[in-house]
């Protein structure tokens, strides 16, 4: 393969039988120029981005940062692909590289970065936060720098975006919406959630997908209203709570919650209040749901 573009001594674009790739390796471009042949054995990492837009973004980014940051981000993406069942596309590599660059600049400058959503991130996206903690270990392994918990929280948000395919601006609104729904249900029925229970985790996962569908108008909401009509007859208190949630979402976010989506919420709320595991004191775990559909 031969060099198409030199970014710095450690990063080049190469042509590999007609495919453009970004190659990283210590000193691989020193004293070399466009058209020179390179031995792939000298590469530490090779990146292939099928989307020309993503490739262009990566090019602009690597011109201004140490190549080590790109290697760190790639190690984190590889870890995510090993430990997450979700498909991780190349866009997260660029987002993580960019964020790691800014985070390390802040850490090295002694700038304390506040994360006002840290509590909610840890509470609502515990799995992703655990993966972000592993990302912190990868960063420390490369550079000997331990980023703050606030920065770990921001990396967790990137992981949420990568695994749930959710827009960054919608993610912030999702966190607010989930918090509001949990508070409404808890206050209405006097419930105390067991946040360590499987039931709570499943309900929370439903709310994550629910908020994503409601906020993103390009995602079609379900049209199956069976649970909604069932709730009218069997669980009027859960339906009343759900209608209040729907009205608040429409007023606060300008989004209409379909009857089908309300039906799924009725199902979950009814399980909170009426299921056998609900204790006489009013404390309850959250009912199970279809994780992938958010039902």
pLDDT tier for residue 294 given thresholds of 50, 70 and 90: very low
Q: Which domain-ending residue is among 133, 148, 164? A: 164
Same domain for 24 and 121: no
- Confidence (pTM): 0.76
Q: Which range, 25-34, 164-173, 197-206, 216-225, is most confident?
A: 25-34
CATH code where residue 6 lies: 2.30.24.10
Average pLDDT over residues 134-144: 95
User: Is residue 19 in a domain?
Assistant: yes
**61 plus 154 within the same structural domain:** yes
- The pair of three-digit structure tokens given for residue 285, joined into one six-digit string: 């775990």
Residue 287 lies inside a defined structural domain of this protein: no
289 occurs within a structural domain: no
17 and 62 part of one domain: no
- Counted residue by residue, the chain has a size of 295
| Same domain membership, residue 196 and residue 226 | yes
pLDDT in tens, 206-218: 899 899 889 987 7
Per the structure, how many domains does the chain have? 3
Q: Are residues 71 and 156 in the same domain?
A: yes
Among 132, 164, 196, the domain boundary falls at 164
Q: Does residue 16 lie in a domain region?
A: yes
pLDDT at 10: 85
51-77 residue pLDDT tens: 777 777 788 888 888 888 988 998 999
pLDDT in tens, 254-265: 999 999 999 989
Structural domain harbouring 20? 1-48
Tokens representing residue 276 in the block: 């056998």
Residue 5 is predicted with a pLDDT of: 85
226 in the same domain as 212: yes
- Are residues 156 and 243 part of one domain? no
* 2 and 59, same domain (yes or no): no
Structural domain contains residue 106: yes
Residue 287 has a pLDDT of: 33
Domain match, 8 and 24 both: yes
- The DSSP string of the chain is -EEEEEEETTEEEEEETTEEEEEE-TTTTTT--TT-B--GGG-SEEE--SSHHHHHHHHHHHTSS-HHHHHHHHHHHHHHHHH-SS---THHHHHHHHHHHHHHHHHHHT-----TTHHHHHHH-HHHHHHHHHHHHHHHHHHS----HHHHHHHHHHHHHHHHT--HHHHHHHHHHHHHHHHHHHHHHT--B-TTSHHHHHHHHHHHHHHHHHH-TTSPPP---HHHHHHHHH-HHHHHHHHHHHHHHHHHH--PPPHHHHHHHHHHHHHHHHSTTS-TTS-BPPPP--TTTT-
Same domain, 39 and 78: no
- Let me know whether 118 and 220 are in one domain: no
In a domain, residue 100? The reply is: yes
Give the domain CATH number at 228: 1.10.1790.10
Q: Tell me if 198 is assigned to some domain.
A: yes
Q: Could you tell me if 61 and 156 lie in one domain?
A: yes
Last residue of a domain, one of 164, 182, 217: 164
Considering the domain boundaries, does residue 286 fall inside one?
no
């Amino acid at each position: 393969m031969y060099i198409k573009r030199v970014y710095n001594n450690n990063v080049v674009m190469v042509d590999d039988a007609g495919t453009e790739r970004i190659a990283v390796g210590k000193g691989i471009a020193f004293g070399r120029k466009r058209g020179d042949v390179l031995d792939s054995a000298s590469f530490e990492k090779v990146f292939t981005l099928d989307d020309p837009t993503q490739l262009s973004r990566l090019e602009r980014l690597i011109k201004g940062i140490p190549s080590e940051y790109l290697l760190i981000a790639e190690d984190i993406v590889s870890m995510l692909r090993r430990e997450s069942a979700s498909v991780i596309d190349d866009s997260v590599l660029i987002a993580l590289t960019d964020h790691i660059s800014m985070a390390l600049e802040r850490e090295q400058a002694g700038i304390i970065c506040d994360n006002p959503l840290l509590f909610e991130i840890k509470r609502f996206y515990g799995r992703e936060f655990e993966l972000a903690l592993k990302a912190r270990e990868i960063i420390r392994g490369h550079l000997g720098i331990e980023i703050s918990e606030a920065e770990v929280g921001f990396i967790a948000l990137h992981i949420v975006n990568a695994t749930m395919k959710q827009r960054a601006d919608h993610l912030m609104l999702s966190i607010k919406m989930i918090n509001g729904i949990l508070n409404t249900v808890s206050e209405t029925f006097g419930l105390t959630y067991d946040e360590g229970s499987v039931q709570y985790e499943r309900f929370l996962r439903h709310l994550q997908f629910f908020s994503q569908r409601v906020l993103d108008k390009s995602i079609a909401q379900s049209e199956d209203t069976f649970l909604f009509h069932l709730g009218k007859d069997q669980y009027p208190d859960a339906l009343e709570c759900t209608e209040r949630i729907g009205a608040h979402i429409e007023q606060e976010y300008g989004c209409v919650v379909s009857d089908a989506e309300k039906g799924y919420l009725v199902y979950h709320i009814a399980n909170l209040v009426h299921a056998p595991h609900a204790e006489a004191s009013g404390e309850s775990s959250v009912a199970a749901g279809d994780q992938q559909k958010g039902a």
